[in-house]
Amino acid sequence: MDNDSKKERGGSEYTSITGTPGMTGGTGAPGNPSTTPHLSLVKGSRQSPEELHDQIRNERISMYVGITGAAGLPGDIEVNDKGEVTSPISDEVEAVLNDLTLKKIDTMGADELKDLIITNNDAINASITDLDAHNGNRAYTVGKALLRVEYIQSSRNLKNGFEDWCEENLKATRLKKRTRQKYMEIARIADATDYVVLGSEKLAGLAPILKKEDGLAPNHPIRSFMERYDISLQTCVDVDEMRFEIGLGMAMAKLGNNKVSVSRDSVRKFLECGFEVTKKDIEAMKAATDTGGDPAKYLERVIKNKQRPTVRTSDANKPPKNFQEQAQEIRDTVASLLKSPSVSKDIQVDRIDALIQDLEALKHRLSGSKDAGSTVDTTADTSASVPPVPPQVPSTPDVDAASNE
């Protein structure tokens, strides 16, 4: 492993899976095996509901003892240097402790409550972050094993051999096909083990993006990707920030692959508001780009409204409107625009021309169906019988905003 690789991966924060005791026995692994954390790989290590209940109960008791100081509890409470309660706690003592904690919370001021909320919420986020990092390791390992099984089964020339094997042997593990494919994609990334702290979900999301990026270093695709999109992990204060920066690079890559040009700062603000760049977002921005609009305005609008544009319906539980209803909605919108003292110049005339052409084509088709003996009635009022066909490209945010004026 070269020094640059060690530096980029944060030094001792990252451990190689090949040095994990219990898998290879440390045979042939360089360095001091005692410095590598031990990972238990015991078959059937799932906890029963009772075991998990007892574990969580012990954690809660330690937490509540820390909040109350155990003042007023019967008997002696023994606590180790980690703040963990080591003495047995009966159900009766636990009930008293729970009551004391609730009373303690009821006497806290706003500042104390703020500290209690932030401390425990930080612990929740940290535990999720840590678990996801560990699962990055596990997902990679499962993926490698699945790839090996796939190779073995394919070499036997059995039709659906791999999937049949998975169905027969992995059904009880609830390892579904989509998850298997995700783990295998992670395992195909050459330098995945250098970045397992990104977590299984982020690695799985990054895998298809790396495939679309031309010219990445074959043996270091993630590192090469970060260099291309100016992602520096050294400046990240924690894992969450690191994952955010990777996510920003992924969003920029998606937009670039779809020929959508938006500033990095605009995308950063969009992500900081809790949104992710989805297929629908890209389609909306492509529509703005294709009609000469500014795709960044779409992001600005979502940020301002704190939600994406949605199709307006009178009842969210109603089935989709039929063509007649859609046609009437368009007529109503046009009528309101015609009554307006001024119409936004951002409305693209060519979009209206495209709609007119689609309507004419549909009218001609319906007329042809009538001549052929169809029961379609085209003699009624056009506003009621001829449904408009929405343009193939979603309407731009600017057009949508103008229709609401």
Question: Domain coordinates of the chain in residue numbers?
Answer: 117-257, 323-338+345-402
Long-range contacts of 175-181 (CB under 8 A, 24+ apart): 175/142, 180/142, 180/146
Intervals of the chain under pLDDT 70: 1-46, 311-321, 343-348, 369-405
Query: Cβ(285)–Cβ(298) under 8 Å?
Result: yes
Task: Supply the pLDDT for residue 344.
Answer: 61
3-class DSSP state of 86: coil
- Residue 300's H or E segment, with its range, is helix 296-305
- Residue 138's H or E segment, with its range, is helix 110-155
CA dihedral of residues 226, 146, 6, 41 (deg, nearest 10): 140
Instruction: Decide: residue 262, CB within 10 A, 0-12 exposed, 13-18 middle, 19+ buried.
Output: buried
Task: Supply the pLDDT for residue 375.
Answer: 47
- How far is Cα 132 from Cα 107, in angstroms, rounded to an integer? 37
Task: Supply the pLDDT for residue 370.
Answer: 58
- How far is Cα 168 from Cα 80, in angstroms, rounded to an integer? 47
CA of residue 376 relative to chain centroid, distance:
46
* 44 Rama class: left (phi>0) / alpha (psi -120 to 50) / beta: left
Handedness of CA 64, 66, 68, 71 (dihedral sign): positive
Instruction: Decide: residue 96, CB within 10 A, 0-12 exposed, 13-18 middle, 19+ buried.
Output: middle
CA of residue 61 relative to chain centroid, distance:
34
DSSP code for 85? B
CB atoms within 10 A of CB 69: 11
Instruction: Decide: residue 141, CB within 10 A, 0-12 exposed, 13-18 middle, 19+ buried.
Output: buried
Query: Cβ(284)–Cβ(309) under 8 Å?
Result: yes
**How far is residue 270 from each of residues 229, 264, 295, measured CA to CA in Å?**
17, 10, 13
- Residue 150's H or E segment, with its range, is helix 110-155
- Which of 302, 244, 237 shows the shortest CA–CA distance to 268? 244
